[in-house]
Amino acid sequence: MRFLALLFLAAPLSAQTIDLSRGQLVDLTHALDENTLFWPTSPTRFQLDRLSYGETPGGWFYASNSFSLPEHGGTHLDAPIHFHRGGVTSDAIDLKRLIAPAVVIDVSAQAARDADYRLTVADVNAFERAHGRIAAGTIVLLRTGWSSRWPDAKRYLGDDTPGDASHLHFPSYGADAVRLLVADRKIAALGVDVASIDYGASTDFMVHRIASEAGVPGFENLTGLEQLPATGAVLLALPMKIRGGSGGPLRAVAVVP
């Protein structure tokens, strides 16, 4: 085979082929380790335990570990059931919502001025004036610039009080903008480079509720969005396939042709 290609539907009547031999692969995933950030009320964190490491009696090297972690921490998926009774679980999400064309809406300038900034309808309209209407089936990624603060919990979450999520401050999506994206644009998924698709000070988690009710998954704690163009990338966001899960660790990779 001379090259690898990825074929996907970019719109109902068109298709696009990405030549992976020429495209740039961008990893949008924070590695899991002892510094991985989780929601402040999470009772546990990531733990890696060594089971084997070294030469075997047979004379070859062998390494093996066990790990444990909550579903919602590090770069991870929020399945619709996370905030909607009867919603789709992690293992049952349509792959077309996980592998799709992506757009990046950059609000890093606004977020730098206001840690509680939320994407507005006006922001979406401005993006579309510059780049065209967001097509159905698109994954929308919101770049706030916050990933540069990882893994400093105080700077990334706005507060590092153990067990307390009532004083968090970080930017994210706004409810009205998400209603537009979900109901009118029929997007596939939402992604963001902060800890939640709701902004840190949220008390009603309305963005989660709107997205989950519509069957739209969320990708949280992404990184590297500054390496992606506003349009033209393809996102592959494949979570651990946990049967019945409300979320799980996510390996997110973008293909930039």
Q: Is 72 a catalytic residue?
A: no
In degrees rounded to 5, what are phi and psi of residue 90? Answer: -55, -40
Question: Does 49 reside within a domain?
Answer: no
pLDDT digits (tens, 9 = 90+) for 9-22: 444 434 456 667 77
Instruction: Quote the pLDDT of residue 46.
Output: 97
Question: Does 214 reside within a domain?
Answer: yes
Instruction: Quote the pLDDT of residue 68.
Output: 97
pLDDT digits (tens, 9 = 90+) for 35-65: 999 999 999 999 999 999 999 999 999 999 9
Q: Which two tokens stand for residue 137?
A: 């089936």
Question: Does 119 reside within a domain?
Answer: yes
Instruction: Quote the pLDDT of residue 2.
Output: 37
Question: Does 53 reside within a domain?
Answer: no
**Which CATH number do you get for residue 65?**
3.50.30.50
Measured CA angle at 117 (ends 224, 103), to 5 deg: 40
4-38 per-residue burial string, b: 16 or more CB within 10 A, e: under 16: eeeebeeeeeeeeebeeeebeebebbbebeeebbb
CA 189 from centre of chain: 9
- Find the catalytic residue in 82, 131, 167, 208: 82
Question: Does 73 reside within a domain?
Answer: yes
Count the domains in the chain: 1
Question: Does 50 reside within a domain?
Answer: no
Residue 96 belongs to domain spanning: 5-44+59-256
Instruction: Quote the pLDDT of residue 6.
Output: 55
Instruction: Quote the pLDDT of residue 23.
Output: 85
* CA–CA distance, 16 with 39 (Å, rounded to integer): 38
Question: Does 99 reside within a domain?
Answer: yes
Instruction: Quote the pLDDT of residue 21.
Output: 74
Instruction: Quote the pLDDT of residue 1.
Output: 31
Show pLDDT as tens, one digit a residue, over the chain (257 residues).
333 455 554 444 344 566 677 789 999 999 999 999 999 999 999 999 999 999 999 999 999 999 999 999 999 999 999 999 999 999 999 999 999 999 999 999 999 999 999 999 999 999 999 999 999 999 999 999 999 999 999 999 999 999 999 999 999 999 999 999 999 999 999 999 999 999 999 999 999 999 999 999 999 999 999 999 999 999 999 999 999 999 999 999 999 98
Question: Does 54 reside within a domain?
Answer: no
